């Protein structure tokens, strides 16, 4: 069996995808070239994502009239918006190969979560996906700390991203994982993901529990919620979180679960900022100096 050429790390901003990418990287798949890696005060260990491809994704979203904080619509409304993209798959592959020069690779950018159809077509079928999801309130609180957005906006953004991930992962080899497992048991999480990737034909090194534990800093988790925390979480987001919980684990051919239609409150909340207004940027209290410069937005 010809193994996958790479791993797409998919998940909403502030959902632990940086830590998860590092754990996959420790198994063997390479991240982008070192000089291209995004670093910032919110993730002092590195975001393990390509600055070049982050800007490439920003350009794709701009062609759609969207931004990372103003993502494309879900369901049937997605295709007409995506049709506005003029960048070709060949251009995308060239950009990708300039910064991911080694096979197999692992690539993380939360923006890819809302651009999956484009990148699946550009990169071809020999790609698998690791999805990381986090409680919507934790994500919303983190976005509020970083960008000053209302919690209701953060929950709506979480719902749109995760809805698009579920819709556009159909037919892929996918493993759906929880943020709590990444942060709470990095060795166990790595073992689970390694088993999935090996089952798809990828040749990987062994899990080193000590290296995995050292790569994840639980102190960077500043927001905690449980499934029982529903105050401020819309019924649609609660239902979607339950769906994510129900599809945890590996699938060699992911089937999108039945999803209730997105409620109008999601688009109404997203419209409170919209694509033409850039959210504020607030560095974390533990950062200093250059951290007060403009951040790159989002992050995992």
Q: Can you tell me whether residue 251 is helix, strand or coil?
A: strand
Domain boundaries, the chain: 6-276
Q: 135 near 240, Cβ under 8 Å?
A: no
Residue 289, pLDDT > 70, answer no
Dump pLDDT digits (tens) for 222-261.
455 555 566 679 999 999 999 999 999 999 999 999 999 9
Q: Which of these ranges, 4-18, 37-51, 262-276, has the smallest mean pLDDT?
A: 37-51
CA atoms within 13 A on the CB side of 174: 23
Distance CA 223, CA 158 (A): 15
CATH of 6-276, one of 1.20.120, 2.70.98, 3.40.50, 1.20.140: 3.40.50
Q: How confident is the model at residue 290 (pLDDT cuts 50, 70, 90)?
A: very low
Residue indicated by tokens 């050429």? 5
Q: 164 near 266, Cβ under 8 Å?
A: no
Distance CA 131, CA 161 (A): 12
Q: 184 near 23, Cβ under 8 Å?
A: no
Q: 26 near 208, Cβ under 8 Å?
A: yes
Q: Quote the pLDDT of residue 282.
A: 85
Dump pLDDT digits (tens) for 197-207.
999 999 999 99
Q: Quote the pLDDT of residue 48.
A: 83
E-state strands within 223-293: 249-251
Phi-psi region of 206 (alpha: psi -120 to 50; beta: other; left: phi over 0): beta
**Mean pLDDT along residues 281-297:** 56
Residue 100, pLDDT > 80, answer yes
Q: How confident is the model at residue 295 (pLDDT cuts 50, 70, 90)?
A: very low
SS percent in the chain: helix, strand, coil, step 5? 45, 10, 45
Residue predicted with more confidence, 177 or 2: 177
List the structure tokens of 280. Answer: 């504020």
Q: Which of these ranges, 20-24, 117-121, 194-198, 277-281, has the smallest mean pLDDT?
A: 277-281
- Residue 78: CB atoms within 10 A of its CB come to 18
Dump pLDDT digits (tens) for 22-58.
999 999 999 999 889 887 655 555 568 899 999 999 9
Q: Quote the pLDDT of residue 2.
A: 79
Nearest to 255 by CA among 159, 176, 161, 160: 176
6-10: strand order across its sheet: 105-108, 6-10, 127-133, 174-178, 249-251
Average pLDDT, the chain: 91
Distance CA 246, CA 53 (A): 32
């Amino acid at each position: 069996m010809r193994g996958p050429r790479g791993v797409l790390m998919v998940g909403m901003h502030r959902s632990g995808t940086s830590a998860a990418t590092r754990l996959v990287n420790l198994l063997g798949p390479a991240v982008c070239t070192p000089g291209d890696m995004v670093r910032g005060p919110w993730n002092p260990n590195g975001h393990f994502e390509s600055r070049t491809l982050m800007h490439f994704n920003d350009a794709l979203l701009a062609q759609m009239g969207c931004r990372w904080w103003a993502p494309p619509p879900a369901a049937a409304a997605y295709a007409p918006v995506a049709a506005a993209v003029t960048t070709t798959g060949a251009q995308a592959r060239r950009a990708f190969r300039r910064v991911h020069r080694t096979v197999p690779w692992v690539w993380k950018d939360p923006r890819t979560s809302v651009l999956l159809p484009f990148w699946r077509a550009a990169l071809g079928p020999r790609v698998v996906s690791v999805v990381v999801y986090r409680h919507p309130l934790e994500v919303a609180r983190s976005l509020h700390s970083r960008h000053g957005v209302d919690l209701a906006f953060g929950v709506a953004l979480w719902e749109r991203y995760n809805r698009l991930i579920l819709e556009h992962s159909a037919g892929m080899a996918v493993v759906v994982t929880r943020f709590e497992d990444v942060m709470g048991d990095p060795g166990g999480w790595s073992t689970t993901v390694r088993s999935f990737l090996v089952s798809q034909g990828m040749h990987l090194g062994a899990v080193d529990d000590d290296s995995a534990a050292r790569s994840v800093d639980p102190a960077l988790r500043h927001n905690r919620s449980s499934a029982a925390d529903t105050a401020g979480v819309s019924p649609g987001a609660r239902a979607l979180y339950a769906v994510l919980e129900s599809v945890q684990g590996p699938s060699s051919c992911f089937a999108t679960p039945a999803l209730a239609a997105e409620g109008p409150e999601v688009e109404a909340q997203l419209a409170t900022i919209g694509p033409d207004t850039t959210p504020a940027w607030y560095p974390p209290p533990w950062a200093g100096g250059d951290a007060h410069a403009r951040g790159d937005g989002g992050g995992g």
